Amino acid sequence: MEGGNEELIQHLKAVLLDLTANPYSEVACPPTAQRRASVALILRIQPHHSHWPAPQSRHARPYGQRRRSSAASDRKLSLKDVLDTFFDQDWVKHGDPEILFIKRATRVGDKWNGHVALPGGKRDPEDEDDQVTAVREAMEEVGVDLSYAHALCIGNLPQRVVTTSWGKVPLMVLCPYVFLLTHHDVPPLRLQPTEVASIHWVSLRALLSPAQRTYEYADVSNRLAKQELGIKRWFLQAMLSKMMFAAVQLIPSESIYCSSIPGFIPEFEAGGKSSTDGKLKRWRKSGKAGSTATQKPLLLWGLTLGVISDFLEHIPPHKALELWTYPTFTNWDVRFTLWAMSYSFRKQKQIEMMQTPNDAAPASAVIDERVDAAGMPKQDLSESGSVEEVQPGEVGIGGLGVGRHWGRSRRDVLGSRGSAVNSMLEGYYPIIRKAVTVALVGRISIVTILVAFLWTKYGRKRS
């Protein structure tokens, strides 16, 4: 095997066929948050140098379309037939699957400035559905045409409710969709300067590699100070320090930068090259979007990592979650308190994730009953026959899912782990809030005891 990716390609094909046959159900908007947003997880197969595809005619028909004879039927090919034909090609069998990521540009008021993300945005009233939103946003932000002539819409991943205030206030419903580009020669991309600083193609092999796992350290004190505890930010920052989130350091196979972003090429300042004033100006500019003065590592974390993990967990050997770490804090006392208070919770989640499909409820008699005429899965029925109320998947601090989607799909009945990131973090953020409170009370108690001891020991002598 020259490319060494043949097995991964076969796994990817199986995952895409499964997502096509078993779509995740739609999450309704919470009553207090009627906004929706969609993101596009765009896949391509990068050909191996020794299995490069033959040049195609400029006027070649869109992939999957056939010339119809007089006796041909008007029936379109099924998505399964198109996927089978696509993956039977030699350059696809020996190619390298990759995902398209964007690095967001700096905008005033944007909480995700400079973050690695997927192309996407809020749903407009004119959009017919969430999938249309994903297609439109991909074209507007990076110039990728996701129409049938260039790509296949595979299906959706688990939807989740994005929240703030550590899961207390819902903001919107996030709807991820998976697309597969059907041509190896993607046209030049057009980056929107106000939205995207750069785009990066990253191999699935790099995303699955344990060597690329790391941490992102984020300051969350401002969120707590403004929305929960109502105390000074500087005090809470000293109390908690920074929060540690699981992250993946990306290794792009191809990167494209938006050269029209201000600061992409550093301005030359006469006489300031070696002066202290010039160094300070260059240091300040290095933090701006598009600046080449300081290239920070591309870290995938938060909300986008949650979406990507949902996808990667479908791919054997299903180790995306085994490499996962729960968010914690850098200060040792807060970190220890959170570890102790969440110990039983994490052990229970580990047991749940280790359950096999045989441990799940029998599904042989209810598979067809869970799908309506439109092919969308409905809510599962409990053993008593009543509808089980399932809360929507939520996204707490750092953008990670903390719940499940409304209306579990058939894959959940069969014990599949496709939305396991949500299940692992469900109920974790309330423990964080309690741990922060306990740690704060502990510090105050220790300081109070210390002051009382010193007063008892030295104050009485002076009196």
User: Which domains does the chain possess?
Assistant: 6-54+77-456 (3.90.79.10)
pLDDT score for 380: 33
Tokens of residue 209, six digits: 């590699």
pLDDT score for 283: 52
Q: Is the pLDDT of residue 199 over 50?
A: yes
Mean pLDDT of 100-114: 80
CA 354 – CA 347 distance, rounded (Å):
11
Which of the two residues, 335 and 429, has the higher pLDDT score? 335
pTM of the shown model: 0.76
pLDDT, mean over the chain: 75
pLDDT score for 422: 60
Q: Is the pLDDT of residue 460 over 60?
A: yes
Residue 373: pLDDT band (50, 70, 90) is: very low
Least confident of 272-276, 338-342, 454-458: 272-276
Q: Is the pLDDT of residue 146 over 90?
A: yes
Q: Is the pLDDT of residue 86 over 70?
A: yes
Residue 421: pLDDT band (50, 70, 90) is: low
Q: Is the pLDDT of residue 124 over 70?
A: yes
Nearest-CA neighbor of 240 among 256, 224, 257, 259?
Answer: 224
Contacts with 44 (C-beta within 8 Å, 6 or more apart), sequence order: 97, 98, 100, 180, 181, 184, 186, 201
User: Is the peptide bond between 266 and the residue preceding it cis, with omega within 30 degrees of 0?
Assistant: no
Q: Is the pLDDT of residue 2 over 70?
A: no
pLDDT score for 332: 86
Q: Is the pLDDT of residue 63 over 90?
A: no
pLDDT score for 418: 44
Which of the two residues, 104 and 409, has the higher pLDDT score? 104
